[in-house]
Chain A
Amino acid sequence: MRIFWVLFKKELRAFFVSPVAYIVLALVMVLSGFSFRAALSVLESAPSEGSIVTWTFHAMWFWLSYFFIFPLLTMRLFAEEKKMGTLETLFTAPVHAWQVVWSKYLAAVFVYCVLWIPSYLNFRFVDWITVGQVEVPEGALKGSYLILLAMGLFNLAIGCFASSLTSNQIIAAVISFTISLLHFLAGLFIMVVGRRVSETFVDIINYFASMEHIRIFTSGLIDTRPLVYYTSFALLFIALTHQVVEFRRWRP
């Protein structure tokens, strides 16, 4: 466990000494500002069913920034060490592969959580500035950040896996971006084909439709199914990453 903390500290440090964390932070801050502004203008124009939370996380700006976060945060993790050859020094020190994999993954998760602090503060500020004029439903807010965390765990694990496959950061980024986006689009598919397909098919698609999950959670409902879905797939991808990293230790 001590080794894990040493590695975790080093990974976190690597995020904040390179410009990556700051660039992503700036990107997310600006675009979540835009989506917040978009939500406010929706509420301004006409009475609406959804709360400010719902509209913020349904804004185009939000999804625009969302899929750039994961490749940017994770592409470096293994690919850079492979390219520099430091994986060899790392694995000739008495460290286990799981310590390396989890320290890298959880450092990325930590940074991901930090990214959402400014967006959370937006809700707190609007509450404070308008002296409670704009209703910020507490349950919906907590639910939104819960599902964001679950989706983050899932997509970061994909990014981790992609990074372990190659020594080229660009390729890692493209792989993780493609998988994340395909997953999202498969969920979006249902919106395109509409109601022309059978009920069961819609239900199946809704199991992994991120848009649908966001819709449920931003309305203040906490559904355990997506949470289990995202975390179990995250574990699967982390296990795969572990296998890839340990590949050199396989015996033919």
Chain B
Amino acid sequence: MISRVAFLRLGSLNDGPFVLFTLNTISHMIEVQDLTKQYAGRTAVDHISFKVEPGEIVGFLGPNGAGKSTTMRMLAGYMPPSSGRASVNGHDVFQASMDVRRSVGYMPEMAPLYTDMRVKEYLRFRAELKGLSGKTLRQRVGDVMDQCAISDVRRRLIGNLSKGYRQRVALADALVHQPPLLILDEPTNGLDPVQIRHVRELLKNLGPKHTILLSTHILQEVEAICDRVIMIHKGKIRAMDTPENLTRKLRAASIVQLELQGKGDFIPLLEALPGVRKATEDGVQDGWILFSLRVEARHDAREAIMDLCLRQKWKIRELHWQLPSLEDVFVELATTEAAKA
């Protein structure tokens, strides 16, 4: 408590955004408790609670309209919660909105920008708004343009740029004041595969120094860069874990694919194996019979299948254990909800 008081006083004396961060002794970067947002009778975010530690990259995952953007807007200090509490870098999002905004680099969905400005001019304007000046400003603007690979378009009008460039200009804007926390709403939306890879690399490299909260509905993205996933659906948190744990915990059974040649009763013999729930024949492809086996979750049946094939003298061309992906979790989440509703 004492450290917090001292910190608040220093915060009011010093207007710089960076001093606040280094003096900050509060351990959670984001702390959200029972956060709720209601719009005219509709509940967009419904009593969610979570914490994000400094240095983490957390992915916000959910179908469209799940409440991801609303949560991020509240965390960025754009609008206040209807009830509940959220603090960023130790500052309450409602009480100390300005301090929150100084600690956050926020990139809204669709990357809105002033289309009548030139890239460098826009970044200079944004940096000035965020309190940079003089040499630091020039240096930071140059740095983020290099980081986001937009130096070659610095004199172009933003209105004439492609979606990929605009997205990266918005990202550069979020980075320009070196905020401890980045909140990025669908940062790779509308980029081509090369650009997506580039942005992901960039975010990964920012990793240890910055905390990142990003939203997406692209599952590979979460698997590729996030330390932790928060799955949100209809305003409620459905799951919160590392991507690996989440897929491991998956209730959906996994599938083994087989391609065999030989004689015998394939189906009954395969189904007799431990852990195999159901075997189906999927047809014949140039002389090879295709099977898919539903096996119990986390049950590796491959060795038993191999042994069976050797005993029966079946020839085997393919034996593949298909692990459930986050995509399956995601689809299951959305479809079970739809079935209930």
Does B262 make an interface contact (CB < 8 A)? Answer: no
A249 to chain B: which residues have CB within 8 Å?
79-80, 97
A18 touches B125 (CB 8 A): no
A10 touches B108 (CB 8 A): no
A94 touches B79 (CB 8 A): no
- Shortest distance between the CB of A117 and any CB in chain B (Å): 25
B116 touches A92 (CB 8 A): no
Partner of B78, one of A10, A17, A92, A94: A92
- Shortest distance between the CB of A201 and any CB in chain B (Å): 44
A-B CB proximity, top 4 nearest: A85-B112, A92-B106, A94-B101, A93-B129
Does B6 make an interface contact (CB < 8 A)? Answer: no
**Residues of B52-84 contacting chain A, CB below 8 A:** 73, 76-80, 82
Q: Mark A15-27, 1 if CB is under 8 A from B, else 0.
A: 0011000000000
Besides the known contacts A86-B113, A94-B17, 16 further A-B residue pairs in the complex with CB atoms under 8 A apart: A6-B125, A7-B129, A14-B114, A85-B108, A85-B112, A88-B73, A89-B106, A89-B173, A92-B101, A93-B101, A94-B98, A96-B98, A248-B78, A248-B79, A251-B80, A252-B38
Does A84 make an interface contact (CB < 8 A)? Answer: yes
B97 to chain A: which residues have CB within 8 Å?
249
The bracket for how many chain A residues form the interface is 20 to 34
Report the separation of the CA atoms of residues A2 and B128 in the bound assembly, to the nearest whole angstrom: 9
- Shortest distance between the CB of A210 and any CB in chain B (Å): 34
Interfacial residues, chain B to chain A (CB-CB below 8 A): 17, 38, 73, 76-80, 82, 94, 97-98, 101-102, 104, 106, 108, 110, 112-116, 125-126, 128-131, 170, 173
Q: A86-B114, A88-B78, A89-B173 are in contact. Are A94 and B108 (CB under 8 A)?
A: no
A17 touches B116 (CB 8 A): yes
Partner of A89, one of B79, B82, B94, B112: B112
Give the number of residue pairs across the A-B interface with Cβ within 8 Å. 64
B108 touches A93 (CB 8 A): no
Q: A248-B79, A252-B38 are in contact. Are A94 and B116 (CB under 8 A)?
A: no
Instruction: Using CB atoms, name the residue of chain B closest to A99.
Output: B129
- Shortest distance between the CB of B340 and any CB in chain A (Å): 29
Question: Can you sample 21 A-B contacts with CB below 8 Å?
Answer: A2-B128, A3-B129, A6-B125, A6-B128, A10-B125, A17-B116, A84-B113, A85-B112, A88-B78, A89-B108, A89-B112, A89-B113, A91-B77, A92-B76, A92-B78, A92-B101, A93-B126, A93-B129, A94-B98, A94-B131, A249-B80
Does A114 make an interface contact (CB < 8 A)? Answer: no
- Shortest distance between the CB of A38 and any CB in chain B (Å): 38
- Shortest distance between the CB of B20 and any CB in chain A (Å): 11
B129 touches A95 (CB 8 A): yes
Interfacial residues, chain A to chain B (CB-CB below 8 A): 2-3, 6-7, 10, 14, 17-18, 84-86, 88-89, 91-96, 248-249, 251-252
Report the separation of the CA atoms of residues A71 and B113 in the bound assembly, to the nearest whole angstrom: 24
Instruction: Using CB atoms, name the residue of chain A closest to B128.
Output: A6
- Shortest distance between the CB of A203 and any CB in chain B (Å): 46
Report the separation of the CA atoms of residues A84 and B102 in the bound assembly, to the nearest whole angstrom: 23
Report the separation of the CA atoms of residues A6 and B17 in the bound assembly, to the nearest whole angstrom: 18
- Shortest distance between the CB of A80 and any CB in chain B (Å): 9
B82 to chain A: which residues have CB within 8 Å?
251-252
- Shortest distance between the CB of B60 and any CB in chain A (Å): 17
A93 to chain B: which residues have CB within 8 Å?
101, 126, 129-130
Report the separation of the CA atoms of residues A14 and B82 in the bound assembly, to the nearest whole angstrom: 35
